[in-house]
Amino acid sequence: MTAEIHDIADHRPHLTVTVDGGVHVIPCDLVRSVIAGDKPSAILSEPVLRRIIEEWLHGVTA
* Residuewise pLDDT in 10s, the chain (62 residues): 576 777 767 778 988 899 988 888 899 999 999 999 999 999 999 999 999 999 999 999 97
pTM: 0.74
Q: CA 16 from chain center: how many Å?
A: 7
Contact 29, 39 (CB under 8 A): no
Question: Which one, of 10, 56, 11, 47, lies nearest residue 29 by Cα?
Answer: 11
